Amino acid sequence: MNPLRRCRRGSGYIIVITFAALLGLFLVIMGRLRKGQAVLLSKSARDFVATTVGEAGLNCLLSELRADPAFRTAWYYKQTAAGAETWTSPVVSRDTSLGEVLDLEVDGVSKGVYSGRTSLGEFKLKGAPFYGAKEDAATLGLIEKELYFYVEVVSHVGDGKSDEGNSYRRIKAMLERRSPITEHLLFDGEMLDLGMGPYTAAPNQLRQGRLYGYQYITLNSLGGSDQGCELYEMEKIETPGMIRALKPTRIEFADRKSVTLTNQNDSAADKKFNPFDGFLLDGARGAHPIKFTHIPKERLLEKAKHPRKYGGLVIERNTFPISPYRNPYDPKTEYVDLDFGEYRVNLSPSDSSSGGGNDEDAPDDDSAPPYNGDDPAPLNTLRGKSLLIYSKMPLRIWGCPDRNVHIFSEGDIVMAGDFNQNPDTPQDYPDATFQNYKTKLKNGKGFHKVAAVIESQGRILIDVSRPSLFLANEMKPYFLYAFGMALHPASPDLEKEMREAFCPLDPSKRKGILGLGPPGSDGVPTARYGTLAWLYNNPHTESGPGYDANMVDLIEFLKPGPVGTTPRFGIRDDVARQQIIEEIKRACREGGNLTVEEVDRIYLMAWKWAVKEENDKPDVGCGPMALAAGLFDEAKKDLNDGIFMPEITINAALVSSTRRSSLFRIGMASPKTLDEIGNAPGGEDYGIFHYLKEPRFLIQRVYGSEIRLATQEPAYFVSGKYSPAGGLLRRRVWDPKMLTNSDFKAPEIPFTYNLLTFSEETINKETYDKF
């Protein structure tokens, strides 16, 4: 056989063997590639899971901060210029506030580290305030040095035995600590609609602070002659939705730049919308969704039960008597009355705006209660410069707290009258637009108010059905003026003199009046005030034509009857009315003049009876209801004296929780029914009368903030039947020192936390163990 042929026949085996070897090598390579890919995929999955475990720890911290804003694992975090990090004064031990959540377990803080675990892995965390930010003069309601909170979280997933089977991750985050209730003038957890009018004389002015609407903001009016709102010195206008200018609205920002927003340059005109360096933000331009989910009532209850830095009180059903008052929209609900009485503040003011300080860092406060306080017992016996009141009952509130106060109710709160305003505060509006006082309000003894926060898990309603609870300081000078006119001044000059004596801008400068002047040609003293002089000259005459002619206007002034052109302060009780008349006659006959003390005594007698009768059985022809129309007419004649426009004044941050449930039309239309009661026709069965009719109006002024969280479902509908039928001028004025004044800051102001920065990275086992 040919040897060459035999060689060729054997080469086929070699080719097959070589091909098989190459195929085997290829399969080995593919196997190893697949194994490496699986390892990579497994590592990526573990890293992802480890990150989620770290995020779980971060969310635990946010929950701890929600329950207790003072939560931290160290006193503060500091970073030096060289980059060195320091966690100063680690917390030795602190329990968690969190309950059981699925497979999550939390250990609390031990030696400066907060730890926990899930079924997937474990985490360790450090978090503390980060101090050092510079204060910004343009942000009046912020304390920048207390604004930031730094967090580091490390997490581990795996068995801890081999590098391939474990993943270690680190999260670094910076939180922003914010106080929506003190930063915002108006905050709405649904939509913010600025159709608050009607404002027919001039546009309403909203000045300073921030505006926020969770869904959107509409800049509008009620249509017709309503001129809408103008905005000045705004720190921010923000909504995650859209900002719609249904009516051209002038806006001035804190940096003094301004714009007139119209439907041609609002959010709907996307390419023409200008955010003005972050002052005007909608959802398309980075607005933060601030959802203040709830008021931390559990913390408030615990703090009120066990107060350490202020006086605390929990109001149960039997703490105070049940009020006879009923909300006409929810008549089955029972209320408790809290009358804080007169302004008897002893705390001296500092009005420091350098920073509010952290309440939790302050020493315990064991200050004695105000020595002459008249807050209702047992509040007047509690120690501390501030009060925290937790009520399990719906509340009806008015009067002047004697110290800083924070009130929370599980039910509705009715603001029934003036709250937290010194009655001597001049309501000195510079012009007839009645935008804001010329007097700048200050806190403390000898000034105008204290710090106050009013929070409700339900609604906060403003009730103007009882004028005696909010017209006391407006009513007195006008009552004295109307009383003086009933004494029959002999000339217009004497009318002016009497008005200046009884109604000065500063009530401490009131003076008496002289009934008799110098002797005339017949040697008899001239009568400056006809009735006063006649009573002095006829000390024993109690009837007859002369008596009737001189006394008729005085008697008519105090007699119940229809409201007309003649001023009337009707006292229904015949005996009480006659006692007041007898006191007037006695004072006039005693010396032929009226001193300040005598007119004060006359007014006090009449006012006490009027308050009693209005509380027992209100009547539009009696007391302050009857005199309100005359007060309005006379106050508008001269804005420079002490006869002020009728006004309900509330100096506080008002925080309600219920979603809007009322007759409310969005946009350039009415009605827009708010949570208000009183001065309406058809509610006589509930003691509601229409005592001040258009074009007259009542000023409703809130100095502080108005916050609607809109997190609770409503229990009833506000139809508007018992709400003011026009005749109401709403004013909202922001108080820039609710947070920044350390002496006058309400306790337990709630905070929210925004996530400003977030980063994650892989770390090794050594770094994790040393954390």
> Where are the chain's structural domains?
39-178+753-770, 183-285, 297-349+358-466+647-669+702-721+732-750, 473-635
Q: What pLDDT, on the 0 to 100 scale, is given for residue 617? A: 94
Asked whether residue 12 carries a pLDDT value surpassing 70, the answer given is no
Q: Summarize the confidence of residues 404-425 as an average pLDDT.
A: 97
* DSSP secondary structure letters along 485-545: HHT-BSSHHHHHHHHHHH--SSGGG---EESEEEE-TTSSEEESBHHHHHHHH-TT--SSH
Q: What percent of the chain has pLDDT over 90?
A: 71
Q: If phi over 0 gives left and psi between -120 and 50 gives alpha, with beta otherwise, what is residue 726?
A: left
> Residue 311: what residue type?
G
The helix/strand/coil state of 161 is coil
As a whole number of Å, the CA-based R_g of the chain is 36
Q: What percent of the chain has pLDDT over 70?
A: 92
pLDDT of 606-662, one tens digit each?
A: 999 999 999 999 999 999 999 999 999 999 999 999 999 999 999 999 999 999 999
The continuous run of DSSP H or E covering 581 comes out as helix 574-591
Asked whether residue 34 carries a pLDDT value surpassing 80, the answer given is no
CB atoms within 10 A of CB 684: 12
pLDDT of 283-303, one tens digit each?
A: 999 888 887 777 889 889 999
Return the closest-CA partner of residue 626 out of 683, 571, 694, 551.
571
The helix/strand/coil state of 235 is coil
Q: For residue 89, what are the contacts with CB-CB under 8 A and spacing of at least 6? A: 74, 75, 76
CA 39 to chain centre: 57
pLDDT averaged over every residue in the chain: 90
Cβ–Cβ under 8 Å, residues 741 and 451: yes
pLDDT of 185-199, one tens digit each?
A: 999 999 999 999 889
Asked whether residue 600 carries a pLDDT value surpassing 50, the answer given is yes
CA distances from 174 to 77, 128, 151, 171, 450 (A): 11, 10, 6, 10, 34
Asked whether residue 76 carries a pLDDT value surpassing 70, the answer given is yes
Q: What pLDDT, on the 0 to 100 scale, is given for residue 409? A: 98
DSSP letter at 321 equals P
DSSP letter at 64 equals H
pLDDT of 237-280, one tens digit each?
A: 999 999 999 999 999 999 999 999 999 999 999 889 999 999 99
Rounded CA-CA distance 675/658 in Å is: 10
Cβ–Cβ under 8 Å, residues 411 and 394: yes
Rounded to two decimals, what is the model's pTM?
A: 0.90
Rounded CA-CA distance 693/645 in Å is: 14
pLDDT of 562-586, one tens digit each?
A: 887 789 999 999 999 999 999 999 9
Q: For residue 711, what are the contacts with CB-CB under 8 A and spacing of at least 6? A: 189, 292, 293, 294, 657, 659
Rounded CA-CA distance 234/480 in Å is: 42
- Bridge partners (DSSP) of residue 405 are 387, 452
Q: What pLDDT, on the 0 to 100 scale, is given for residue 37? A: 40
Residue, of 49 and 84, whose pLDDT is higher: 49
Residues in the chain, how many?
771
Cβ–Cβ under 8 Å, residues 740 and 353: yes
Cβ–Cβ under 8 Å, residues 648 and 464: yes
Cβ–Cβ under 8 Å, residues 234 and 211: yes
Return the closest-CA partner of residue 157 out of 167, 144, 170.
167
Q: What pLDDT, on the 0 to 100 scale, is given for residue 350? A: 61
Cβ–Cβ under 8 Å, residues 439 and 377: no
Cβ–Cβ under 8 Å, residues 213 and 223: no
Phi/psi at 106 (nearest 5 deg)? Answer: -125, 135
Point out the least confidently predicted range of 27-36, 85-94, 248-257, 370-379.
27-36
Rounded CA-CA distance 48/41 in Å is: 11
